[in-house]
Amino acid sequence: MAPQNKSDLLAEFERTGAIVLKGVLSSTDVAALRDEIQAGFVPLDRRANGAFVRSLSAAMVMRLPGVMRTILSPRIVAALKTILEAHYAIVPDFHVQRNMYDFTDTSRSATHLFGLIGSGWHHDAGHEGAKLYLFDRRYRMVKCGLYLQDNTLELGGGIETAPMGHKLPLRTAANRLNYVAMRLWQNYRILTGRRTLDLNAGDFVAFDAHLPHRGCLPHGLLDQLSAAEKAAGCVRLPPERSKLVIYFNASRQALAQTYMRHSLSRGIAEWEGLDAGAGNEIFFSDFPGLRYPEDYPPYFVARLQAEGLTMTQLDGEELQTAVQTRNAALGHAAVRNYAAPGAVSSPG
């Protein structure tokens, strides 16, 4: 049963690490968003000429007014104000994923105690390691997802979580000890308390950056997947059956920039990988270089200001580096999930 009021919503989030808002989008809204997103993929698919295009980068997402308006829809904003704070910050890691799954083999052994046990399990602050700010009591970052299909046994489409795995057992001056205690607790929750969220098309989820989770697999298709699909973590599905999820992050203002700084370092590495021929989609090399308000749609800026929210942004030399990295990545010929307006043409 989804929480019905603010106090229940906050209590549910603090107890389990996640909230679900049922029916944020009507079936008509879902259909319109699916059409808008699929149309956004069409020119990229054409240019990719049969190769996988798994996501839309932030720069592409900001061309989709339906998606951008949904991110600031009243029920979502009200819920995030409840679990974060009245003037929470949005992190501009706008991302639309299509047919993405994790097909790595499950591995359970003592050697995995300081990673998360089982295929696909992760938490969204995991790459940041044992950074001191992650154990600061002011820190609260949430991943937000809008799911545009039902979660079914055949096709997946939702997520599985380890409730209470976001709770940090230790907050001492010995940060490595804090980290080890957190990992042990997270694995315990994965092994003893994991559950699949009840998600349908149009539902919204927000979960703590420390909460272990993984995407649900398409069990009805596992024996039909090609080696290429398993390697890419992406299934070829017709548009009407596609798994589509809209993602972004939101945070309390006090520590919102920590993720942006971390993302900049990953963005530089991502760009270097692109330039070395080791990648074909951008994410971290895109959004840290966004400048507010000039890079955002005017209708989005107006709504953000009306709600009293803030947009997380780097500044000074960090922003300059991020802008340079972003411009280089957006202009790279190898990138599949972004194209400059008017730059896409039929292959050949």
According to CATH, the topology of domain 6-330 is: Jelly Rolls (2.60.120)
Q: pLDDT, tens digit, for every residue of 106-159?
A: 555 554 556 788 888 999 998 998 899 999 999 999 999 999 999 999 999 999
Q: How far apart are CA 313 and CA 288, in angstroms?
A: 7
H/E element holding 309? Answer: none
Q: Which tokens in the block code for residue 93?
A: 């890691």
Q: Which tokens in the block code for residue 179?
A: 């980290």
Q: What's the confidence (pLDDT) of residue 84? A: 98
With H, G, I as helix, E, B as strand and everything else as coil, classify residue 3: coil
pLDDT class of 348 with cuts at 50, 70, 90: very low
CB 190 within 8 A of CB 116: yes
For 205-251, give the DSSP string: EEEETT--EEEPP-TTTGGG--HHHHHHTB----GGG--EEEEEEEE
Q: How far apart are CA 138 and CA 29, in angstroms?
A: 35
Q: pLDDT, tens digit, for every residue of 52-101?
A: 999 999 999 999 999 999 999 999 999 999 999 999 999 999 999 999 99
Q: 50: how many CB neighbours lie within 10 A of its CB?
A: 8
Mean pLDDT within 10-18 = 97
What is the pTM assigned to this prediction? 0.94
